[in-house]
Amino acid sequence: KNEVEQSPQNLTAQEGEFITINCSYSVGISALHWLQQHPGGGIVSLFMLSSGKKKHGRLIATINIQEKHSSLHITASHPRDSAVYICAVGSARQLTFGSGTQLTVLP
């Protein structure tokens, strides 16, 4: 069993839809990271959180430490949100990565 599990692996949505990507982990963590990787390959750090909820524009990330679960939500999705979203747990030194969720938002 992988230490970091993401679901779904692939997600196709229509523009405007509310999107949720889930991440479950089995290891103890100091922080959980959500990363975005665009088709060009570059990786952008979206959030780092260790408790509660963070919001940045249309993106919301939540974490439940007791349940070892995090969700990334995208409100009013747009085609430019199409990317691979990667959950990673641990510190920057010891990040364990999920396999990623490929999101495609259709116009």
Partner 1 sequence: DAGVIQSPRHEVTEMGQEVTLRCKPISGHNSLFWYRQTMMRGLELLIYFNNNVPIDDSGMPEDRFSAKMPNASFSTLKIQPSEPRDSAVYFCASSPGRNTEAFFGQGTRLTVV
Half-sphere exposure of 61 (CA within 13 A, CB side): 22
Question: Phi and psi for 68 in degrees, rounded to 5?
Answer: 55, 55
What's the closest the beta carbon of residue 107 comes to partner 1, in angstroms?
26
Which pair of tokens denotes residue 80?
């430019």
- The contact mask relative to partner 1 for 55-94 (x = CB under 8 A, - = no) is -------------------------------x-x--xxxx
Q: Does 107 bind partner 1 (CB under 8 A)?
A: no
Counting Cα atoms < 13 Å in the Cβ hemisphere of 29 gives 30
Q: Considering only residues 21-40, where is the footprint of partner 1 by CB under 8 A?
A: 30-31, 33, 35, 40
Based on the shown chain and the rule CB under 8 A, indicate whether residue 20 belongs to the binding site for partner 1: no
Asked if residues 2 and 64 have their Cβ atoms less than 8 Å apart, the reply is no
Residues of this chain that bind partner 1 (CB under 8 A): 30-31, 33, 35, 40-45, 48, 86, 88, 91-95, 97-100
